[in-house]
Structure 1
Amino acid sequence: MENRVHTSLGVLIGGVHTYFPKEIIRGISKEAEKEHINIFFFLGMQTKVFLKQVLGEHSNAFYDYQFNTIYDYSQIGGLQGLLINYGTIGTYLKENNVRIFAQRYNDLPSVFLTEKINVANCYSIISDNYQGLYSVVEHLITEHGCKRILFVKGPVGNTDSNERFQGYQDAMKAHDLTVQPQMIAQGDYSEFIDESVEELLDHNPDADAIVFANDEMAYSGCRVCRKRGLQVGKDILLTGFDNGELSRQTDPPLTTVLQDGKAMGELAVRNMMCILNGEEVPFCRYPTKLVVRESCGCMRQNNEQIQSEEDRSEETGRLRHEIIEKQQQFVEFQRKSWLLPMMVRELNECVDDERGFCLRIMDTMKVMGVSSSYLFLLDQPIVYDGESDWTCPENLRLAAHCRNGETFAYSLEERPLVTRERGIAQMTEDGGDHQYMVYLLFSSERQYGLLVCEVPIKDLSFYYVVSLQIGLALHNYELNKIEALHRQQLFQDMERIREQNRELDMKSAYDQLTGLLNLRGFTERTKKICEDGKRRKAHLLYGDLDHLKEINDTWGHAEGNFAIKACADILKSCIRGSDMIARIGGDEFSCLVFSEMDTFDTILKDRIIQACKEFNERSRKPYYVELSVGIQTFELENYEDIQLANISADQILYEAKKNRRKSIKKKNNEL
């Protein structure tokens, strides 16, 4: 296939879970395919009505506001024009003002569907809502003699809704029928307005008919009437607006107004191409048509009568096709229902690196049958509360893609940045024709980026659920990364604390001057030795530096410290490294030595005397460094044995001190 650079259009559209927006999408898709135009549908999805129906008033769709931000990503779409279905967007905006919205996007030529707009570079296509609704009410009055006709409005501030309401009011007025406030109910275009219909019927038990501003709300009306035992088409007449796909399948089939969303979508694409070619495009009010069926009380033979065998055959073929399509959709739904939990499990398994995680997302999309998909991620997640000002982010990057069944993920450093000059359309351009759905990836207040994927229109809602799961997986991955960083930081903190504790232990257990154990360290070590309960022969030495006071008083404390360190070195030279030696006081030392030799105490004492002699011969100090020692030999089994040996060694030391020099000052000839 020859590569070509396509014209790329963006479509901003909400409410895509309902019939009419889907029809618009189908029309845009059909015309774009015909003209080889690439389309990017920026999808606003709302969950509130569904959650309320399932969970009641306590449902929480608080984060639906996130969907309103997806439209801004079209500003970095690299697009040539925008098709905007404002009727499905404005209702959910914080400020429902079509002019402000149009000015936000009119850097590009824009075609607005279901909305009238008078802003530069903006063009409009809208249904003839007024005439369509007027014809419904007039039919009920003139053909069925209805006088008390109730009305369920669409969303507040919606142009379609306002025009349809005006058509209702004017038709009633033209036939001199009074409209009272209790005859009007506020709806939201969803199928889940049962409470509003119940209340409307409670206030109007004598109602002849209810006119709904769209088909979805009319389905709710049929459900409520059946619940009340009212036979639609006999006891009360109901009508809708849209001619939705289910309008023929309701019981009885629904009288409605055809507004051809598919044709309007096709026209929107044609108009945009004319605009891009520099041609003038007029405002268009697209005609509507009354479709009469049994829900308004008309009999089938008077409206949708099948008069010939050919007609019957065509109708039978259509129904057979619908049945086959529904069966296929059911099988497809079952398959995807199995795939979805597998996908969730796959994505939430721990992956060591972000590139691998993004690749896993693309592989998951591939397994689900999506041949082309793109994952765009923000450098850092954006926290958006729905109240503060929102602007399109400037740090969106292409993280991974699946093209023609081949998956690829970029490293963090290599991810291409999305800009207005090189936008989403340029980064997804591969020479082929594509129609991409663009889903926002978020979890609660945190936005992570976009999923751009080529999926069938019938699967829009399913891949919306997939996008939510991917958003949740991204959130979990972010939490795992934070947790890993916290673990690493905790490990480093614990290591630092351990090092500090080791230093504190050293300081608390060792003498800073000599580097020997202090009294605390000596005591703890000896207690640990006694913990094993083994009996062994030991020798406990108590030693004093002779005449430390004389050294301090005569030569100063620096020399006193030198003499103490010299004593420590002398004692260390006389025992093994595995034996314990400590400075337990200012001039006091203690050693614990293990030896089975019977005369070891005498040998140790002689070693110390000889070591002192050798030191003094080479020290060139004006004083002698000498130790008086007392050694007690004993059997060590528990700590109490050492305590008793302490007493004996101390007494022996006391006796030894009596034999020390009277003065440690050297004579001149001894220096």
Structure 2
Amino acid sequence: MKTIAVMVGNNQSEYINALLKDMDRISKERGIRILFFTGNRLPVECDDGSDGRDVSLREHQFSSIFDYITYGGCDACIICYGSMSGIPGVMPLDEILDKCSSIPVMTFEVKSNRDDVPYLIADNYKSMSSVVRHLAIEHGYKNVAYLSGPRDNYSAMMRLKAYMDVMEEAGNKKSMNNIYYGDYTTRVKRIIGRILDENPDIEAICCANDNMARACYSVCENRNLVVGKDIAITGFDDIEIASKLSPGLTTVKHDSNLFANLALDMAIAMSEGKAVESIEYPVNIITRSSCGCDIVDGVEEKPITNYSSVINDEYINNLNISHDELKGIAGSLAKENDKIKSYAWEVSFFVRDIIDSNIPSDRHYEELFERLKEIGLTNAYLFVHRTPLKYEVDEFVTEDRHMYFAGGFDEKGKVIVPHDDWKHHLVSSHKGFNQFLPEGDGNYHTYVLFSGEEQYGVVLCKAPMEENEYLLYISLQISNILHFFKIMRQEEKARAEMEISIERVKESNQILSFISRYDELTKILNRRGFMEQALATIHRRDGKEAVIMFADLDHLKEVNDCFGHGDGDFAIISAAKLLSGLMPRDGFCARIGGDEFVAFIPVPNDMTAKEQIDILKNKLKEAMFLFNLTCEKPYFIELSAGFHSFVCEEGMDLAKIIASSDEVLYEDKQKRRASIKKG
């Protein structure tokens, strides 16, 4: 089976994502394997507020995935270098080509300077010339702005050159000052706003791709500009949604399926030692109504300007989608949303459970794979460096750092973890990762594993392309866990570092705060956990009655002095169990000091606070009696308790209420027995 490596910078681009999906599908049809090496970036909405150096280091760590190409054991490599523009830490193309010199390589959407490296690109210049000519000459627009892609992107610069040449040909030098630069994503709305503000008589915006054109639709809607009438908009790529926008987007047909087939054809031929010629493939303009053309497309077109409105019959008709189809789409979206929520929840507990469990070091990887199976992964294969690499910005991993197969599990759920000498599981330069992957079982996504400046290796997972972001999130958690495993192996010497690691996991996931919410000895809430849960309950039960119980373990000092601290711990744990057993379904208790406990008990709607307090007093008295009756310890375990009722109210001083119940507790303590010794 042939294995092709595909290097891509950012598959959050809709066109690149479509291209990768087509490659994924076509490779399975042809019986070849693809290893996807993606220089992922966290979405903007996941920004955790890290300082600039942390963000830069993280981005460089993501980009270091390209250094692992040499470990892939691949027969050929497709470098989608155009998608890497603007990503921190990406090496210059020549350096990547040097790194991949041992395997046949081709470039996609960029020309290399080497005669022995073929390329596949669209004829960006000719196709964009057709679009600009259509706007400036056929429509006669005089004020045309151009929204370009990144300055370091080959395709973007060729499309920009086409715009400049055609505008010069049309004698429109004014538009030469109307060039703006975006990043090929929809996050260009501020730039589009600038275009409209600086050019109040603007007639058209020519965008270097469809993503930025979509953003134009949104900005125009907010400014009550009707696309195709008040202003012309064009794009490039013809992504799936381009024809469904209203009005349809005039663009260039950059067929992802066609280019995926061509790229794989070239890569396979190269892997077989065949000579491959570069291809600059002609792509054509697709004229729709966004440019101002009066195109019907089989039905009378009724542009809808309020894209954020609820979907109505007119919109459905314009999309040519039936109500049943729309219901199906809505149902799929709802299921996908539920799936994402479920994933986030499962991953949260996956991390918590591993960090909470006391796993022997020789079972670290087995435990990791078992947990990965539990959260729904169908397979995963882990390759690590024996010693984590120290990775700093602009300092890349070198090939002489050996990698080893640490284990994994297949789609049948079989976990494989080597327990013999590491040298028997060295990733060879010839077969690479393939020597440990099942034969003929599909394509894999490759994710770099790192924490701070340390780099541990990579994990390979096989999953649908649309789950890439979920797998990225999983890989970040695996990174945290590998870091945790390393610290555990260092035992007491690394205790300080363990605390830093736990803090890092808490800050990055916001799912581990419970570690500090529970009392280590009794396993019930501690002071912080109680306050958080009590305030949340007060907020939820605003205007309803509740009871605070403040309890004190009687004569703990006497137990410690006479029987030892082990018995003191037993008494504290027993007291916690007694109180927990008293709690109704929605009540909770906590240990907030050495021998001090507090509980929060909501008052049911069919009961008064006094009735609730009386019930609690009787239950506590009965529970202590029964416990001491059967307990073989030579001392009594008893609690004094004070109760205070109140009405839940937002912003109330909970500490003051606890203090009030403490005062009542003092009265109860006067009634306790003089000594807790039996007999």
- TM (norm. structure 1) is 0.65
Secondary structure of 2:467's counterpart equals helix
The equivalent of 2:41 in structure 1 is 46
The equivalent of 1:376 in structure 2 is 383
Report Cα offsets for 1:313-362 as digits up to 9, x if no partner: 99857996676356335313412422333223223433423453322332
- Paired AA for residue 447 in structure 2: Y
The 8 Å contact of residues 180 and 191 in structure 2, kept in 1 or not, is answered as yes
Distance 2:137 2:494 in 1: 75
Give how far 1:12 is off.
Answer: 0.8
1:58-77 map, 5 Å: 61-62=55-56, 63-77=58-72
The 8 Å contact of residues 10 and 81 in structure 1, kept in 2 or not, is answered as yes
Percent sequence identity is 26
Q: Structure 2 vs 1, CA of residues 456 and 316 (structure 1 numbering), >3 Å: closer, same or farther?
A: same
For 2:128, which of 133, 145, 148 is the aligned residue? 133
Give yes or no for the alignment of 1:444 onto 2:452.
yes
Q: Structure 2 vs 1, CA of residues 427 and 48 (structure 1 numbering), >3 Å: closer, same or farther?
A: same
Q: Structure 2 vs 1, CA of residues 317 and 206 (structure 1 numbering), >3 Å: closer, same or farther?
A: closer
1:282-321 map, 5 Å: 282-301=277-296
Q: Unpaired runs of 5+ in structure 1?
A: 1-5, 307-311, 491-531, 533-671
For 2:480, which of 451, 472, 476 is the aligned residue? 472
Distance 1:98 1:489 in 2: 38
The equivalent of 1:416 in structure 2 is 425
Distance 1:487 1:301 in 2: 70
The 8 Å contact of residues 382 and 458 in structure 2, kept in 1 or not, is answered as yes
Give how far 1:79 is off.
Answer: 1.2
The equivalent of 2:140 in structure 1 is 145
Distance 2:20 2:460 in 1: 16
Distance 1:198 1:452 in 2: 42
The equivalent of 2:581 in structure 1 is none
Give how far 1:483 is off.
Answer: 5.5
For 1:425, which of 434, 437, 446 is the aligned residue? 434
Q: Structure 2 vs 1, CA of residues 364 and 322 (structure 1 numbering), >3 Å: closer, same or farther?
A: farther
1:146-295 map, 5 Å: 146-180=141-175, 182-295=177-290
The equivalent of 1:324 in structure 2 is 328
The equivalent of 2:308 in structure 1 is none
Report Cα offsets for 1:286-314 as digits up to 9, x if no partner: 221212223222334168889xxxxx999
Using the TM superposition, name which of 397-406 and 326-335 deviates more. Answer: 326-335
The 8 Å contact of residues 207 and 213 in structure 2, kept in 1 or not, is answered as yes
Report Cα offsets for 1:268-299 as digits up to 9, x if no partner: 11112222333322111122121222322233
1:98-113 map, 5 Å: 98-113=93-108
The 8 Å contact of residues 239 and 255 in structure 1, kept in 2 or not, is answered as yes
The 8 Å contact of residues 48 and 60 in structure 1, kept in 2 or not, is answered as no
Q: Structure 2 vs 1, CA of residues 420 and 123 (structure 1 numbering), >3 Å: closer, same or farther?
A: same
Q: Structure 2 vs 1, CA of residues 337 and 358 (structure 1 numbering), >3 Å: closer, same or farther?
A: farther
Using the TM superposition, name which of 354-363 and 220-229 deviates more. Answer: 354-363
Give how far 1:56 is off.
Answer: 12
Secondary structure of 2:243's counterpart equals coil
Question: Alignment RMSD, CA only?
Answer: 3.3
Report Cα offsets for 1:451-504 as digits up to 9, x if no partner: 1011001212221122122222323343444464445999xxxxxxxxxxxxxx
The 8 Å contact of residues 252 and 283 in structure 2, kept in 1 or not, is answered as yes
Q: Structure 2 vs 1, CA of residues 222 and 413 (structure 1 numbering), >3 Å: closer, same or farther?
A: same
For 2:20, which of 25, 36, 40 is the aligned residue? 25
The equivalent of 2:578 in structure 1 is none
Secondary structure of 2:73's counterpart equals coil
The equivalent of 1:543 in structure 2 is none
Secondary structure of 1:294's counterpart equals coil
1:355-370 map, 5 Å: 355-370=362-377
Give how far 1:50 is off.
Answer: 5.2
Give yes or no for the alignment of 1:401 onto 2:408.
yes
Q: Structure 2 vs 1, CA of residues 96 and 156 (structure 1 numbering), >3 Å: closer, same or farther?
A: farther
Q: Structure 2 vs 1, CA of residues 324 and 273 (structure 1 numbering), >3 Å: closer, same or farther?
A: same
Secondary structure of 2:11's counterpart equals coil
Tell me which structure has the larger Cα radius of gyration: 1
Report Cα offsets for 1:554-585 as digits up to 9, x if no partner: xxxxxxxxxxxxxxxxxxxxxxxxxxxxxxxx
Give how far 1:155 is off.
Answer: 0.9
Report Cα offsets for 1:488-533 as digits up to 9, x if no partner: 999xxxxxxxxxxxxxxxxxxxxxxxxxxxxxxxxxxxxxxxxx9x
The 8 Å contact of residues 123 and 281 in structure 1, kept in 2 or not, is answered as yes
The equivalent of 1:463 in structure 2 is 471
Give yes or no for the alignment of 1:13 onto 2:21.
no
Distance 2:253 2:497 in 1: 64
- Paired AA for residue 149 in structure 1: V
For 1:80, which of 71, 75, 83 is the aligned residue? 75
Using the TM superposition, name which of 404-413 and 255-264 deviates more. Answer: 404-413
Give how far 1:412 is off.
Answer: 7.6
The 8 Å contact of residues 25 and 262 in structure 1, kept in 2 or not, is answered as no
The 8 Å contact of residues 382 and 408 in structure 2, kept in 1 or not, is answered as yes
Secondary structure of 1:347's counterpart equals helix
Give yes or no for the alignment of 1:391 onto 2:398.
yes
- Paired AA for residue 156 in structure 2: S
For 2:349, which of 338, 345, 365 is the aligned residue? 345
Q: Structure 2 vs 1, CA of residues 370 and 353 (structure 1 numbering), >3 Å: closer, same or farther?
A: same
Using the TM superposition, name which of 108-117 and 240-249 deviates more. Answer: 240-249
Secondary structure of 1:301's counterpart equals coil
Distance 1:426 1:234 in 2: 60
Report Cα offsets for 1:349-396 as digits up to 9, x if no partner: 334234533223323333344333211122122222212344246232
Q: Structure 2 vs 1, CA of residues 356 and 291 (structure 1 numbering), >3 Å: closer, same or farther?
A: farther
Distance 2:491 2:215 in 1: 48
Using the TM superposition, name which of 394-403 and 26-35 deviates more. Answer: 26-35
Distance 2:141 2:297 in 1: 18
Report Cα offsets for 1:64-84 as digits up to 9, x if no partner: 111221111110111111111
Distance 1:224 1:41 in 2: 35
- TM (norm. structure 2) is 0.65
The 8 Å contact of residues 26 and 261 in structure 2, kept in 1 or not, is answered as yes
The 8 Å contact of residues 102 and 119 in structure 1, kept in 2 or not, is answered as no
- Paired AA for residue 379 in structure 1: R
Distance 2:257 2:142 in 1: 35
Q: Unpaired runs of 5+ in structure 2?
A: 302-315, 499-561, 563-679
- Paired AA for residue 374 in structure 1: Y
Distance 1:7 1:51 in 2: 37
Give how far 1:47 is off.
Answer: 2.9
- Paired AA for residue 450 in structure 2: F
- Paired AA for residue 253 in structure 1: G
Secondary structure of 2:387's counterpart equals strand
Give yes or no for the alignment of 1:454 onto 2:424.
no
